[in-house]
Structure 1
């Protein structure tokens, strides 16, 4: 076996030709032939007092957990977080160079420098105080009729302000070749409706009370003589919105949330909202004759609130959300007050990020792809893209074989599944066409003006898609993002450049550890195309039922097994994982690890895996999975995750998934009586 990772072993399955050969040569240069293979496993993180058969997560990560502290500015710390910090430092070095040599006026680098400089200029921010928001407050106060609230919502949406419903442009889920306007519930200042509605939970009640106090303090800072009254108005109105909202399980249902409505139908179903004025103020009148409404009953209820709730409460509500949206960009005392609630109270984080990190995040939010272009040139050579593409193709081939071997799926549905898989599009590293920022105006001295310009540029860019062909090459991530994704509408899996570096991708290590880290991510994202919601879309991105009724019933029965398994997990005393809400991610985890194991075994060509550091390749693969999700998390942040994040907490992503993996039982000799053991008939296998 060669002493490099993710190259020759994958070429036969990938069929890539010259680009893959280039990747092979680059890998050989990184790890010359004859050099010693490394396992890629840090055994110092292991806890020898724990048997892998009883608690695999603690066995792999026990010493790491006991010797690691969460940084003061973080809500959690783990493998993903450490890599995000690495990427942030890489970007910081790039931005330092841009600030030294910003380029000509109007250039992308000058605009990047303007954004960064305006953010860190605290003297200018402090001097302006709340003055940048004066016109917004006056616009809100000028609304003296309920029918004018719709136009106000649209105007604030263009500015990125959180209002009772959001508006975005995306592919039509039943005609993925065209763009349409979607409208969905929004408008809450707390992470989930449970924070408003669950009176029995003392922690959530305490957060709700702290939220009202936070609103009061910011209103007071702004000079509101009736701050307490107006803060009470905000909480009362947001509580009524929460009562109308669908829960997160309902809101992830692809079929229930696809509800096209003409403007006439909207006027009939939600008559308290002036839809004509809204569409005109949003700039889409004449460009869209209908909207796809995600939660119709919410909009019917919202329309009644718009007509019934006194204008004073609406004034308080909109003023608050303008203040909340811009508070990170105002004077230091305002930004600090915001963090004291959103960071410390809500997530338990004692310190804010350093100013350079906040400024970097701001630049990323406004001109992320422009920064990404510089990042790729510095940190992601072309051969890395080819090498990753080879691995993706190997996983697609493995998934193809897995579909044919399914005992519970009929030939008719298998044919459709294979057709969808054949149309998968991998997006690796960076987009082929970079985003154009030529229309974006920036200032080196006016931060709030830059915030407004950034939101306006993004909104107008989105609206401009209406009536034009869908751009399937568009990315939802910047290259410097440490994450991965699957888009059911594009039928595409995305792996940004920043993810593809150690410890997720280590060219020095033998293949197994890479299959356990980035490989399982590949398998996970492919599996999203076939999870409980992704499986409702065909290969072209259209919502279409390509299943027989019997096969869908068999799939659902197995998926319900995962719901039951994960719902039993309790990361925080008194709080459980919502197995239905996290189902899609749990399917991705379980199927992704299965594919990674099969792909790794396939890559061996029938030979036994090499034993390195006393560990077989199969063992290192599963260890890679456990290291990938090792996490320390503050309790308050864990509660926020359980309420609002479709991913299960890291420990249970590890243990919940491995307990269903036949290969794991073989690799670590798991037997009845071991705590990791689950009887064969209780193990869930989908793909």
Structure 2
């Protein structure tokens, strides 16, 4: 996955942001970005007056030519980016992803304003995306309705008489996107990728992950105190007395802390072998005494199943124990809070503002909430991504972009084939299997061959929260309906407008939505040197994920299978240990270092992807007779290649955002994604005339792929 840290805008319309690892990147930025990205300030009327101009693939305004590229390549390639791109008050950071997201959000907003205007000529999909956006933007109606849209759920929670009723209620809440107790869903069977099965996992936390409840540092203690105060405030806004709200919030914190103690950490959750425990359903149900799991499945609209993947088996006995040990009133308060925080973006402003204050301002350091037109545009993309994406693709992904991407993907896959052949540490036996897997990788570029059918989803122009709940239920039912059905290999896990990319080990496919195939990542106005450095390295990144510490555990058919010799695995782990140590030495903010084990997969993909893109570019340049030493914009082709790569990760970030990222995210901070990969590149020293032993060309470097 290229980037998962920008999961939802803090205080976003979709509710509490950033608490689950998703593959959708959603980021915003509204500021005057000087010569790089020009923006006019806008009102929050829904009709954006902003004019966002993409940052070009080769951005000379970010270069700091006083910096020595051999000493700090990030400073050389991105040294002026932060000064030219001050962080707007409504963002936790600014980088290339945010900049392109602005451009795409602006495009989506234009589509949505037109669709929301109505008219008999609207298609069914245009009616849905237009009415969804219109309802989301109607804050006057939201204020007038008050708590009425959510009161039926709150009343249902209040009416619970005993804990035996909790399972069915949890299923009902989870079906509409409310995070309570644990997670339930669908997946391909890790060991039989032709099967789609049910899975169950830990969940139910209000803070980003388990260690936020357990670390003892001053900042962690402060965040926990702020979280308790936030929970109390939300309950008080919904009608609880201040005294009861405070008491309930403290009890909720105690309950969630016990769930956190039983949860796996984010690093452990990266290992597919640690989250695969296929069990007969009766075996799993035995870990939940007193809970009617069949009632839960019925309420969440799941088919009854005979087996289930219990990702976190140690969690469920602890969950049951804590439910039994916790008084019913606390559990009801816990569920009320979860309903409120999930609904906050479509409740009166006092709820939306309080939710943002904690999850955006305190957790991410973002002073102001993003304009509602941006949040609503993004929300439509989340709920109806392929309906909105179909129009986006027609208008913004045309010309030869797809053909050029197909060529680049082919070039980079060919480069990986050559790279495997020349590896001096891998046995011939494993090389054969690696090449087999490589040749089975499927490529998805731009958009799906068949767009999703939303005809059964009801969307109303005057029911903001209802639209969101029905969209959540629609997607829940669509996902769970796949259990027991044949795998659809044409399905996408991202909407076309998204600024991201991913590799799916069970599908063994690489996926590049149209949203990221835009400047600066792919810039038709730039030469191949820049584009292979930018989007080429991203293609190589996703391809390398198929062979990183997680991907290597899956074969070409998508099955969790050890196709490596024991000796080759040992050599592989020695090489990945080098990356763990390298990145683990980077201090991200204050005294918090990058977690080299958590970020290993992404770091492996960054390093391998950049090398593959470079190999592919040299081959393409040779075929087309490019003179590599010839200068353009003052730099040779190979120098432009590496500058293009580093400028993928030009950033300006708030320390709170960096801290949260380092503690929860498998991606290293941008600065280290640039320099961390550059120091391991065999072609870099020659491109910039760097001497062995300089900071960017260390005597000892790391190399996996």
The answer to whether TM tops 0.5 is yes
Farther-moved stretch of structure 1 (362-371 vs 58-67): 58-67
3-state secondary structure, aligned to 2:308: strand
C-alpha displacement at 1:142, in angstroms?
A: 2.4
From 287, 291, 294, the counterpart of 1:269: 287
Aligned residue number for residue 239 of structure 2: 223
1:258 aligned residue = 276
Which of 253, 257, 267 is the matching residue for 1:239? 257
Residue 364 (1) aligns with residue 375 (2): no
Question: 1:8 aligns to what?
Answer: none
TM-score by length of 2: 0.89
1:657 is aligned to 2:663: no
Deviations 1:7-63 (A, max 9, x none): xxxxxxxxxxxxxxxxxxxxxxxxxxxxxxxx9533332223321111110111112
What secondary structure, in the 3-state scheme, does the structure 2 residue paired with 1:362 have? helix
Equivalent position to 1:210, from 202, 218, 226 = 226
Which residue among 166, 184, 188 is the counterpart of 1:149?
166
Pairs within 5 Å for 1:591-630 = 591-605=608-622, 608-609=627-628, 610-630=630-650
Hey, what's the Cα distance between the residues in 2 that align with 1:671 and 1:42? 26
Compared with structure 1, are the counterparts of its residues 345 and 490 closer, same or farther at alpha carbon in structure 2 (3 Å cutoff)? Answer: same
Query: Does residue 668 in structure 1 map to residue 688 in structure 2?
Result: yes
Counterpart of 1:405?
422
Does residue 392 (structure 1) correspond to residue 412 (structure 2)? The answer is no
* Number of the residue aligned with 1:571: 588
Q: Which has the higher helix share?
A: 1
Q: What stretches of structure 2 of length at least 5 have no aligned partner?
A: 1-55
Residue 672 of structure 1, CA deviation: 4.1
- The answer to whether the Cα contact below 8 Å between 1:575 and 1:639 also exists between their aligned partners in 2 is yes
Kindly provide the CA deviation profile for residues 604-630 of structure 1, in whole angstroms up to 9, marking residues without a partner as x.
Answer: 227641322331111111111111101
Name the SS of the counterpart of 1:604 in structure 2.
helix
Alignment length (residue pairs): 645
2:183 match: secondary structure: strand
Partners in 2 of 1:552 and 1:396 — Cα distance? 22
Counterparts in 2 of 1:424-443, with a 5 A limit? Answer: 424-443=441-460
| Segment drifting more, 175-184 vs 96-105 | 96-105
**Does the residue aligned with 1:571 lie in a helix, a strand or coil?**
strand
State yes or no: 1:554 paired with 2:571.
Answer: yes
Written as runs of structure 1 = structure 2, the 5 A alignment for 1:152-167 is: 152-167=169-184
Q: In the alignment, does 2:487 pair up with 1:470? A: yes
Aligned-pair distance for 1:647?
0.4
Offset at residue 311 of structure 1 (A): 1.1
Q: Which residue of 1 aligns with 2:46?
A: none
Question: What does residue 507 of structure 1 align with?
Answer: 524
Is the 8 Å Cα contact of residues 103 and 109 (structure 1) preserved in structure 2?
no
Instruction: Give the distance between the partners of 1:577 and 1:386, measured in 2 at CA.
Output: 38
CA distance in 2, matches of 1:131, 1:646: 40
Cross-structure match for 1:686: 704
1:480 aligns with 2:500: no
CA contact (8 A) 2:303 2:480 kept: no
Alpha-carbon distance between aligned partners in 2 of 1:520 and 1:98, rounded to the nearest angstrom: 37
Measured in 1, the distance between the counterparts of 2:303 and 2:447 equals 34
Taking the aligned partners of 1:207 and 1:427, their CA distance within structure 2 comes to 41
8 Å contact from structure 1 (residues 344, 350) kept in 2? yes
Distance change >3 Å, CA 410–CA 272, structure 1 → 2: farther
Q: Secondary structure at the match of 1:296?
A: coil
1:268 deviation in Å?
2.5
- What residue in structure 2 maps to residue 30 of structure 1? none
What is the distance in 1 between the residues matched to 2:690 and 2:295? 64
Scaled by the length of structure 1, the TM-score of the pair is: 0.92
Larger mean CA deviation between 168-177 and 649-658 belongs to 168-177
Distance 1:457 1:540 in 2: 30
**1:101 offset after TM fit, Å?**
4.1
Greater displacement, 438-447 / 598-607: 598-607
1:248 aligned residue (242, 249, 266): 266
Contact 1:266 1:275 in 2 (8 A): no
CA distance change for structure 1 residues 336 and 393 in 2, over 3 Å: closer, same or farther?
same
Q: Does 1:519 align with 2:536?
A: yes
**Taking structure 1 as reference, are residues 285 and 673 closer, same or farther at Cα in structure 2, changes over 3 Å only?**
closer
Do 2:498 and 2:513's aligned partners in 1 also have CA atoms closer than 8 Å? Answer: yes
